Amino acid sequence: MHNIKIIEKKILQAIEETENIETLETIRISTLGKKGFISEKLKKIGTLPLTERQAHGTILNHLKSQINKLLHKKHQEIKKKTIHQRIQEESIDITLPVRNNPIDDGRIHPISQVIHEITSIFLKKGFTLAEGPEIETDYYNFIALNFPKEHPARDMHDTFFFHPNEKGETKLLRTHTSPVQIRTMENQKPPIRIIIPGKTYRIDSDKTHSPMFHQMEGLVIDKTSTIAHMIGLLEEFCQSFFETPSIKMRFRPSFFPFTEPSMELDIQYHHSKKETKWMEILGCGMIHPQVLRNCGLNPEEYQGFAWGMGIDRITMLKYDIQDLRDFFETDIRWLKHYGFPLFS
Ligand code: DAH
């Protein structure tokens, strides 16, 4: 009997100390299993003297139920612990910083930003957007705009020409956005109010010139628009774009074959703390009657004005960018610095 007490203690202790289900099962088999310790003892009760049998049976059955209870309890405990451990191991810590959203990393190129700024100023005034091809014919780039063949004004446009095609036609990369004026007037009845942003090409490359650059053309055709409307519109534009009502401007007489009279608009800017300078930002003028005629419009009935400005240079001025060539280097560090976050 005394022996059993010690064994009971040992068994219960072993169960208590078990950490896994397999060991628990081994204990169960070695105690309660068919050939287990308790089962063997119970089988042997019959060999005991009658007087001892009942007491022995009671003790063994009590021990059996003790072991059973403890096994069950331990089983539950281990199961719970295992599940808890798995949850701990397999859970994802969503508080960790994730990779940057590409939307936060991306930047709008300053030129795209400025095209957007200029466009929205004119769209608010009732203009619409127009576009045209970058590979143009001599007719749209020059002739229809009143640059006849051999006209000296053609020399101002250092043109990229293609080799003549099988029809003997020599195409070119448009040197300005003005051919889209012609394409629009050919296809659309006045009143016309359009702006034309786009890429243009000339053989030129230095700190302030690139062979590919950007222009924004504007065209207004109706029966009543005058040079006063043009000046007023361009003044309002400069005030909005440069975000100052006091911007200093001057219109200078100039020459373009497709406008008469023609002018250039300069704005004053701070070159350094003390020094101010004038910078030409656009050419403009009243549409030449010959250009209207070339598009099938009667100059006795219709009139209007146009302007063309270099986007790259006013972008440099507005956002203090020193070298025009950096626009086209596709340097991601430069873009991070000078570009604009989406939705800004
Ligand atoms: N196309 C001219 C250029 O590239 C700019 C220009 C001047 C456009 C006067 C116009 C204009 O529409 O009226 O130098």
Residue 132: closest CA among 90, 184, 84, 175: 184
Show contacts of 334-338: CB within 8 Å, 24+ apart.
335/107, 335/109, 336/107, 338/110
CATH of the domain at 158: 3.30.930.10
**Which of 217, 231, 280 has most ligand 1 atoms within 8 Å of its beta carbon, as the pocket-test mutant?**
217
CA 301 / ligand 1 centre spacing (Å):
23
CA 215 / ligand 1 centre spacing (Å):
9
pLDDT computed for residue 87 by the predictor: 87
- Residues 11, 152 share a domain: no
Residue nearest to atom 2 of ligand 1 (CA): 308
At residue 185, what is the residue type? M
Q: Is residue 95 part of a domain?
A: no
- Residues 124, 15 share a domain: no
Q: Is residue 306 part of a domain?
A: yes
**Which of 136, 147, 156, 176 has most ligand 1 atoms within 8 Å of its beta carbon, as the pocket-test mutant?**
176
Number of structural domains the chain divides into: 2
* 277 beta partners: 269
- Residues 125, 81 share a domain: no
The ligand 1 site (C-beta within 6 Å) comprises 176, 178, 217, 256, 259, 283-285, 306-308
Q: Is residue 252 part of a domain?
A: yes
| Rounded Cα gap, residues 194 and 53, in angstroms | 114
For residue 34, the enclosing domain spans: 2-90
Residue 237: closest CA among 159, 146, 124, 74: 124
Residue nearest to atom 5 of ligand 1 (CA): 308
Render each residue's pLDDT in the chain as its tens digit; 344 residues.
567 788 888 888 988 898 888 998 998 889 888 888 888 888 888 888 888 888 888 888 888 888 889 989 999 999 999 999 988 888 877 777 777 777 778 899 999 999 999 999 999 999 999 999 999 999 999 999 999 888 887 878 899 999 998 988 899 999 999 999 999 999 999 999 999 999 999 998 888 889 999 999 999 999 999 999 999 999 999 999 999 888 899 999 999 999 999 999 999 988 778 889 999 999 999 999 999 999 999 999 999 999 999 999 999 999 999 888 899 998 999 999 999 988 76
100-117 residue pLDDT tens: 777 778 899 999 999 999
pLDDT computed for residue 226 by the predictor: 97
Residue 312: closest CA among 110, 108, 106, 107: 110
Decide: pTM greater than 0.85: no
CA 247 / ligand 1 centre spacing (Å):
22
- Among the candidates 90, 120, 136, a domain finishes at 90
| Rounded Cα gap, residues 314 and 323, in angstroms | 12
Q: Is residue 105 part of a domain?
A: no
- Residues 130, 269 share a domain: yes
Give the rounded distance of the alpha carbon of 31 from its chain centre: 71
- Residues 293, 152 share a domain: yes
- Residues 293, 144 share a domain: yes
* 326 beta partners: none
